[in-house]
Structure 1
């Protein structure tokens, strides 16, 4: 088969007829006015038997209160703390991970601990707060959110791991103008990592 025979108009028409749907065979094959794009409309999805349209699934909405415009499940976690109109700037911060290591870990390697964050028990968040007094700091800790507010700064931090919001420590170091928040992480597989 040479290239000239494939590129001829009659060959393209024959190929289009071969790939066309059986329902379209009722129409006149030589009438190009009724199907001006019969060759251009054929694509990889047209090869093979026609597929049946899949039924669309509409989500079932609970009609608990007809005046609600959204469900509580639709609202992302922590969005109640977001305030896009707040002009306060975000302070600099860094997140560090800490683990409790003993001599048996350092020298003998007995507890299967490694330097990865999976083996860390605590999360340390250092927040720089220049020109701030400790009495001006308002700190709220949720399971996955740290919300810090001062008169000049505001930090809404989505934490990388869930934490124990009831047991944590916060210490303001006035010489460094830094707030250090230590939180105990509670992750899904901690029972394996710390066994």
Structure 2
């Protein structure tokens, strides 16, 4: 249990003190003093966490992927989009059940993101796909989409349909290999 340090022990002791019922007989002033001491010890325990670099405000795990693309001052609207999950199903799956696939999202291999971009040309679209983030920029629209599943950032395809002004991005899931998710 590598992550348990002094601060974790202090957290547990403070929690134990909060949950114990033995301090209830001291009266109202004792309760206030107990709560004040407990709050101070919990605060001290939480502020004594060790960071890799004391100048760091956040660790890498605390920052969501794609947050560098969040621009609150950008007035461009977000286009309409929908996310569909795709699954390759053959006759052996449908009639015989040989591959043990079911209609759940755990058996899906890809994700289809349909984005409506009216009055947009294919040359105006800038698309960047990370493992868990899709960033789309056009002169009229912007979309920063956190993806529900990790994907292969280089294994997808994108098709633009100029007659309907729609972009379809197909992204392959990054899943561990098991008996359901076989190559």
Alpha-carbon offset, residue 176 of structure 1: 1.6
Counterpart secondary structure, 1:80: helix
Alpha-carbon offset, residue 174 of structure 1: 1.2
The answer as to whether partners of 2:99 and 2:180 remain within 8 angstroms in 1 is: no
Cα RMSD, aligned residues only: 2.4
Alpha-carbon offset, residue 101 of structure 1: 1.0
Unpaired segments of 5 or more residues in structure 1? 1-18, 22-37, 47-52
Kindly indicate which of the two structures has a greater share of residues assigned to helix.
Answer: 2
**Residue 25 (structure 2) pairs with residue 20 (structure 1):** yes
Worse-superposed segment, 123-132 or 97-106 = 97-106
**Residue 114 (structure 2) pairs with residue 126 (structure 1):** yes
- How many Å separate the matches in 2 of 1:150 and 1:20? 67
- How many Å separate the matches in 1 of 2:141 and 2:161? 17
Which residue of structure 1 lines up, in the alignment, with residue 86 of structure 2?
A: 98
Which residue of structure 1 lines up, in the alignment, with residue 53 of structure 2?
A: 63
1:143-158 to structure 2, matched below 5 A, reads 143-158=131-146
Alpha-carbon offset, residue 73 of structure 1: 3.7
TM-score w.r.t. length of structure 2: 0.72
For residues 124-158 of structure 1, what are the alpha-carbon distances to aligned partners after superposition, in whole Å with 9 as ceiling and x for unaligned?
Answer: 00000000000000000000000000000000000
TM-score w.r.t. length of structure 1: 0.68
- Return the index of the structure with the highest Cα Rg: 1
**Residue 72 (structure 2) pairs with residue 87 (structure 1):** no
Report how many aligned residue pairs link the two structures. Answer: 149
4+ residue segments displaced more than 3 Å: 40-43, 68-74
From the superposition, tell whether residues 74 and 117 of structure 1 become closer, same or farther in structure 2 (CA, over 3 Å). closer
**Residue 178 (structure 2) pairs with residue 191 (structure 1):** yes
- How many Å separate the matches in 2 of 1:137 and 1:96? 21
From the superposition, tell whether residues 175 and 190 of structure 1 become closer, same or farther in structure 2 (CA, over 3 Å). farther
Counterpart secondary structure, 2:94: helix
- How many Å separate the matches in 1 of 2:63 and 2:111? 26
